Amino acid sequence: MAYNYGPTLENYKIREEARRILSNRWGNAILAVLVYSAVLGVSGYIPKIGPIIVFVISGPMTVGFIRFFMNFKKTEENVPLDVLFSGFKCFENAFLTHLLVTLYTLLWTCLFIVPGIIAFFKYSQALFIIADDPEIGASEAISMSKDMMDGYKWKFFLLNLSFIGWAILSIITFGIGFLWLTPYMQLSFVIFYFDLRYSSTSNTKSLEE
């Protein structure tokens, strides 16, 4: 099925909307970042098998993290933290999507850095698609991401780049600033995804259905 993808929001509007949604709910968002980081961080310190565990759970945890901020966007109330672990309900799709995206990106990077960067943005929406509709398979999610990002990789690159000043400031504050920057960025990426996927098509299934 062909989809007519296309965003309607400028990047500064995406950031503006993210700040509006976060206002008065920073605590809930920061707590989610702490839990997500703690799970991956503690898993990484497990003797001998830590890195393997982190790789295995990264897909499901990232899907849950994305879904948390998708729900955060859709509600005026705090989102339960157990949503962070909802990616394990679609473990196979989440894991395979993360695995394939990582593999494809590495293969393109082996050719040269620029193709690797392009591949990163080409496949960037795959886990968002799984978070939005976990019944979609890994290969289909990757194909959809490629279609969605056709003509919009530069826009998403610029959205990422627009946070560089905040990232530098976060580093200067010994990483403390990332507690605020991470939810700000993640929610902005969620808004980008919804705007890109649903603003110009009625042929797709939304998270609300």
Give the tens place of pLDDT for each residue, 108-148: 999 888 889 999 999 999 999 999 999 999 999 999 999 99
* pLDDT tens-place string over residues 159-169: 999 999 999 99
User: Would you state the pLDDT for residue 200?
Assistant: 56
Tell me how far CA of residue 163 lies from CA of 118, 127, 156, 166, 192, in angstroms. Answer: 19, 21, 12, 5, 14
| Token pair 């990332």 in the structure block, residue | 178
pTM of the model: 0.90
* pLDDT tens-place string over residues 38-67: 999 999 999 989 999 999 999 999 999 999
